[in-house]
Amino acid sequence: MTTLEILLLSGAAFCTSALTAVVGAGGGTALIAIMLQVMSSAAAIPVHGVVQLASNTTRVYLLWRYMAWPVIFRFAALMPLGVWLGLELFQGLPTEAIQILIGCFVLISLAARQIGKWRESDVPLWAFFPIGFVTGALNMVVGVIAPILGVLVIRKDLSKEAMVGTLGFFGFLGNLLKIAGFSLIGFSFIEFGPTMLLMVPAAIIGTRVGRSVLAKMDERYFLLGFRIMLVGLALKLIAVDGLGFALSG
């Protein structure tokens, strides 16, 4: 990679990490889309995992006291098994089809939660056991699944800090396991050392900047912005990453 490309990716890591720290999701998806412009998908997904691990670790540190531990413990229980399944079975599946399914799921979930009794209901805690399993598997294929988790973590009993912090822990665990998984199948992270050495600090600084903005944001505006971001990500997954890439290919 050229010096200019590395600097551009570092700037993108700063901006997207700040975005994620403010609204909880969106930055990771935007970052991997940018990385795919200058890197192959085989390299972008694991390197993206390292950068996001730094960003999510910082977010977890800054929002530790807001974590929704009952949700996190259930989510984490089966996630390693899902990562193993993703490595074993899903690496050969068309990524575009999975991205379209994820995008449709996000839109349907957001719409359903505005209808009748579902409007006031939260995802039951037991459901985070299978959610963690499925997340682990999909994370090895698509690279970013925050749009799904963003919908599921919207709960009446969670503040904006708790939502962003809990999503950060989801990302921390998912990216940690992703890095371990790609290491086991022989991916060489050292080859992309210079790129990661610049992108990781940029992501950490961006997360700190975004955390300052989150603290000053009104709860109502946060939820509105959060839902708008999820809709935008879902449409991008369907129209650009899924259908657009498949048709161009």
- pTM equals 0.66
Cβ–Cβ under 8 Å, residues 108 and 237: no
Do 223 and 154 touch, CB atoms closer than 8 A? yes
Nearest Cα to 52, choosing from 190, 162, 199, 236?
199
pLDDT in the model for residue 129: 92
pLDDT in tens, 96-140: 766 676 677 667 656 655 544 444 567 788 888 988 888 787 776
Containing 162, the helix (H) or strand (E) segment is helix 160-184
pLDDT score at 116: 44
Q: What does the pLDDT read at residue 98?
A: 64
Q: Which domain holds residue 12?
A: 3-248
What is the domain count for the chain?
1
Residues of the chain with pLDDT under 50: 115-119
The single-letter code of the amino acid at 56 is N
The candidate with the shortest Cα–Cα distance to 24, out of 152, 142, 128, is: 152
Opening angle at CA 53, ends 89 and 145, nearest 5: 45
